[in-house]
Amino acid sequence: MIRVGIAGYGNIGRGVEAAVTHAQDMELVAVFSRRDPATVQTVTGVPVVAYDKIGECAGDIDVVIICGGSATDLPWMTPELAAKFNVIDSFDNHHHIPEHFAKVNEAASASGKVGIISCGWDPGYFSLARILADSALPEGDSYTFWGRGVSQGHSDAIRRIEGVKDARQYTVPVEAALESVRNNEHPEFTARQMHLRECWVVAEDGADKAAIEEAIKTMPDYFEPYDTTVTFITQEELDRDHSGLPHGGSVIRSGRTGFDREFNNTVEFTLNLDSNPFFTSSILVAAARAAYRMNQEGQSGAKTLFDVPPAYLSHHTREELLAHML
């Protein structure tokens, strides 16, 4: 049994708790939280331990899955914990990945542990789709479409507008853009041409709805570069119809083969997820299995899913894989 610890207990932490509980080759040892453990109740009853005490558990845990945020938690937590544990994170700040990788690599190389970073679905499985498609079709263009799904960052941005009580934002791929890519037209897109932004907003009583809509649609970076729809609904409607966190998307590569590049090909990888955090958590757990195995065979340092032989992610034996999955 692979002994797993969870550091951080939000949506992702709970998702990891569920996935580890269902995994037959793993056991969940503890959740580590920076909150007062007495105030944190886990779903399965697994013990909650103060984050400060995690170092004392080094002998009892094979892998720590770090379930913090990429903005303020993971940049220090992953290197700190890699000094004592095999670690997994879902660091998703694409621009800072090389820097994060370097810090984790330094810590994990020194400790002789493995740290696999950026193990969500993007970065993560979408990254695998990109590298596999690019390797088979070196001459071509890759596209990533997100949605239809809830962007928590964009929902938060709407909530910060004066007069907004609650909000939910869906990122939606433009159907015509998907079709153009699939038709091997190799388009060059603006942001507006690839995605729509659909906003469901609950206004405070007496708030100026026209002003809220204007504030959303003109918000730089978040909404201004996109065609954005704003619909005002009641809190009850929001809670009833928009309480989930679905997401998904597609990585599509269109590339040519042949002596004269005469053959068109598309490789497409698509996800449709009822729950974004629970699927992310499932990938984190598969990556934890891989980190444990890689470390067992003597590997150390920072890794990404690009470095992981896919068999290491699977709970199936080599014989099962050869006979049934190849």
Q: Which residues bind a copy of itself (CB under 8 A)?
A: 15, 17-19, 21-23, 43-44, 94, 97-98, 101, 118, 123, 125, 127-132, 134-139, 182, 257-259, 262-275, 278-279, 281-283, 286, 304-311, 313-316, 319, 321-323, 325-326
Shortest Å distance, C-beta 53 to a copy of itself: 26
Shortest Å distance, C-beta 202 to a copy of itself: 25
Alpha-carbon distance of 225 to 264, in angstroms, equals 31
Shortest Å distance, C-beta 133 to a copy of itself: 9
197 with 168: CB under 8 angstroms? Answer: no
Alpha-carbon distance of 116 to 114, in angstroms, equals 6
Contacts of 98 (CB under 8 A, 6+ apart): none
**Helix (H/G/I), strand (E/B), else coil: 32:** strand
Shortest Å distance, C-beta 30 to a copy of itself: 18
**Helix (H/G/I), strand (E/B), else coil: 318:** helix
Backbone angles phi, psi at 266, to 5 degrees: -125, 140
**Shorter beta-carbon distance to a copy of itself: residue 66 or 283:** 283
Task: Provide the total of helices (H) and of strands (E) in the chain, helices listed first.
Answer: 11, 14
**Shorter beta-carbon distance to a copy of itself: residue 152 or 275:** 275
Shortest Å distance, C-beta 62 to a copy of itself: 18
Shortest Å distance, C-beta 190 to a copy of itself: 20
Q: Encoding tokens for residue 308?
A: 């992981």
Q: Encoding tokens for residue 264?
A: 């068109």
**Shorter beta-carbon distance to a copy of itself: residue 217 or 256:** 256
Shortest Å distance, C-beta 42 to a copy of itself: 11
Q: Measured on CA atoms in the order 134, 129, 148, 95, is the torsion positive or negative?
A: negative
Shortest Å distance, C-beta 182 to a copy of itself: 7
**Shorter beta-carbon distance to a copy of itself: residue 214 or 320:** 320
**Shorter beta-carbon distance to a copy of itself: residue 90 or 151:** 90
**Shorter beta-carbon distance to a copy of itself: residue 235 or 270:** 270
| Helix (H) or strand (E) run with residue 267 in it | strand 263-273
Shortest Å distance, C-beta 301 to a copy of itself: 12
164 with 202: CB under 8 angstroms? Answer: yes
Exposure on the CB side of residue 50, measured as CA atoms within 13 A:
4
**Helix (H/G/I), strand (E/B), else coil: 93:** coil
**Shorter beta-carbon distance to a copy of itself: residue 100 or 197:** 100
Other C-beta atoms closer than 10 Å to the C-beta of 176 total 11
**Shorter beta-carbon distance to a copy of itself: residue 127 or 228:** 127
**Shorter beta-carbon distance to a copy of itself: residue 5 or 124:** 124
61 with 37: CB under 8 angstroms? Answer: no
Write b or e for each residue in 141-164: b if 16 or more Cβ atoms lie within 10 A of its Cβ, otherwise e.
bbbbbbbbbbbeebbebbeebeeb
